[in-house]
A and B are shown apart, each in its own frame.
Chain A
Amino acid sequence: EVQLVESGGGLVQPGGSLRLSCAASGFTVSSNYMSWVRQAPGKGLEWVSVIYSGGSTYYADSVKGRFTISRDNSKNTLYLQMNSLRAEDTAVYYCARDPSTSGSYGGWFDPWGQGTLVTVSS
């Protein structure tokens, strides 16, 4: 079964750092395009970052320069390093797989992890 399980969320002060993890099973993280998507409390979905199967990375303007996406192929795990956190970064963070097997992107997400809550507050 294809599954994603996030961890690492919690309460952090403004300006602090946090690293989220997303453990995958049933497929190989490095063979797919993998993204992070967040959802602020009571709000809609916002794409955050993607790592291509080839290793290229891209970020939303709102997190560029502060967040870093990476993966550990030996652990089949995706990460999101979040630095200089702000109150507006408070959200549930989901990891999600682009299911395309063509070597390029499909553009949609399936499956999604269950999410991990990040709260930035003093």
Chain B
Amino acid sequence: AIRMTQSPSSFSASTGDRVTITCRASQGISSYLAWYQQKPGKAPKLLIYAASTLQSGVPSRFSGSGSGTDFTLTISCLQSEDFATYYCQQYYSYPSITFGQGTRLEIK
């Protein structure tokens, strides 16, 4: 199975900061990568698919990049509602989909 590793596992930041979360695949997955945001007690919400395509309705401060094994999710100017846990997900080996372990973003 393809293993997805996110870094960092958790960190704190302040509103207005620019933050970057990294996701690394154990083998090349082209651009078959999605990003989700999850808030406590809620279902995950799709942010980005195909590594860099912003889902409709998602604010433009979110962006994704990368291909092959290394990917990033960037939030250009943190807002209070962005403090949450973020997951990457590969679908290169569909239907054997795998997720990263999550990155928890907390308020500094």
Residues in chain B within 8 A of chain A (CB atoms): 32, 34, 36, 42-46, 49, 55, 87, 89, 91, 94-102
Q: How many residues of A contact B (CB 8 A)?
A: 20
Query: Is A83 interfacial (CB-CB < 8 Å)?
Result: no
A46 to B99, Cβ gap below 8 A? yes
Take A44-B100, A45-B99, A47-B97 as given contacts and tell me if A108 and B43 are in contact as well, using a CB distance cutoff of 8 Å: no
Q: Mark A100-122, 1 if CB is under 8 A from B, else 0.
A: 00000111111111110000000
Task: Give the most central of A50, A109, A112: most B CB within 10 Å.
Answer: A109
User: Does A94 count as interface, using CB distance less than 8 angstroms?
Assistant: yes
- A107 with B87: in contact, given A44-B101, A47-B97, A47-B99 (CB under 8 Å)? no
Instruction: Give every chain B residue within 8 A of A109 (Cβ-Cβ).
Output: 34, 36, 44, 46, 89
User: Are A108's CB and B89's CB within 8 A?
Assistant: yes
14 contacts between A and B (CB under 8 A): A35-B97, A45-B44, A45-B89, A58-B95, A94-B43, A94-B44, A105-B95, A107-B34, A109-B46, A109-B89, A111-B43, A111-B46, A114-B42, A115-B43
The main secondary structure of chain B at its interface with chain A is loop
Contact of B43 with A106 in the complex, beta carbons under 8 Å:
no
A118 → B minimal CB distance (Å)? 15
With both beta carbons as reference points, the residue of chain A lying nearest to B55 in the complex is identified as: A110
User: A residues engaging B (CB < 8 A)?
Assistant: 35, 44-47, 50, 58, 60, 94, 105-115
